[in-house]
Amino acid sequence: MRIGILVKISGPASTRDILVECARLAEDAGLDDLWVNDHVAIPREDSQGSGGRYLDPLAALAFLAGVTSRIGLGTAVLILPYRPPLPTAKWIASMQELSGGRLTLGAGVGWMEPEFRALGVDRARRGRLTDGTLAFIHECFATDEPAANGQRFIFSPRPARPPILIGGQPPHAFERVLRFGDGWMPAESDPDKLRGPIATLRAQLAAAGKPVPQVVPLTRLPLEDPVAAAARVEALAAVGVTGIIHVAAYATADELRPVVAAIAKLKP
């Protein structure tokens, strides 16, 4: 079981100094992964808590890659329809290359209408746009000379493709895992509610001759009760969860320090 933490790239806690200290706290404590979320254009009415301040997730991870050396880096999730496919694939390949292969790409279709409007992207086409970008990412990592808009070009650097975890709910999310992904990033984190869907996904992948999927939900572990937290991790592992992203509430690195210490005690 991999256990990571969602670090804030929004609001007052997303300053350079706090990000650096939080990332190094997590790495030094032995946590497995740092994760970031994705917003690009928050309207004022939805900006409570963040003030509308959001760092770009790929830029933030590139920065965190430079101040860490071991810990995994992931998006939970990158909204693919927000971005054109070719620059996105280039960002992903560059991140994977410069981080030494530490990237996991959590990918999703998005939901916030005002962001789609600000970006000039038709929200109704978000599923098709996501599928097109995922297909293109696979092509880029599979060949030195993919094609875009009828033009072949050299795709370099071309490191090993990072694992792709698909966000969202079945059946659409599972269809994307079967076609493009290595696992699932569910919004649900109740072990009893995940048992059935994970079993279904495993069966679908097995029938297609594909490996057992990674399953990595976002959750908030009950760290104030170490026994309960350990039991939650065990229960999630028992239903097929392979990784956990703990969502912490913190305003400073000092507030995150005991959270990281408590998570580290859950690791074998």
178 pLDDT higher than 90: yes
211 pLDDT higher than 90: yes
Query: For residues 75 and 61, is the Cβ–Cβ distance under 8 A?
Result: yes
Angle at 197 between CA 241 and CA 248, to 5 degrees: 45
For the chain, the average pLDDT equals: 97
Rounded-to-integer distance, Cα 265 and Cα 43, Å: 39
Burial of 17 (0-12, 13-18, 19+ CB in 10 A): exposed
Domain extent at residue 51: 2-264
The mean per-residue pLDDT over the stretch 169-179 comes to 98
Which of the four pLDDT bands, split at 50, 70 and 90, describes residue 268?
A: confident
**Number of Cβ atoms within 10 Å of the Cβ of 44:** 9
Which of the four pLDDT bands, split at 50, 70 and 90, describes residue 242?
A: very high
198 pLDDT higher than 90: yes
On whether the pTM is more than 0.85, the answer is yes
Residue 76 is part of a domain; what is its CATH number? 3.20.20.30
Burial of 233 (0-12, 13-18, 19+ CB in 10 A): buried
Interval 47-102: pLDDT, tens: 999 999 999 999 999 999 999 999 999 999 999 999 999 999 999 999 999 999 99
pLDDT at 244: 98
pLDDT at 218: 97
Scored b (16 or more CB within 10 A) or e, 71-103 reads bbbbbbbbbbbbbebbebbebbbebbbebeebb
Supply the angle between the helices 85-98 and 126-142 in degrees, to the nearest 10. Answer: 50
**Structural domain count of the chain:** 1
**Number of Cβ atoms within 10 Å of the Cβ of 53:** 15
CA 250 and chain centroid, separation:
20
The mean per-residue pLDDT over the stretch 119-125 comes to 98
Rounded-to-integer distance, Cα 73 and Cα 63, Å: 11
CA 214 and chain centroid, separation:
12
Query: For residues 11 and 53, is the Cβ–Cβ distance under 8 A?
Result: yes
pLDDT at 210: 97
Side by side, the strands of the sheet bearing 33-36 are: 214-215, 183-185, 164-167, 103-108, 72-79, 33-36, 2-6, 243-247, 218-219
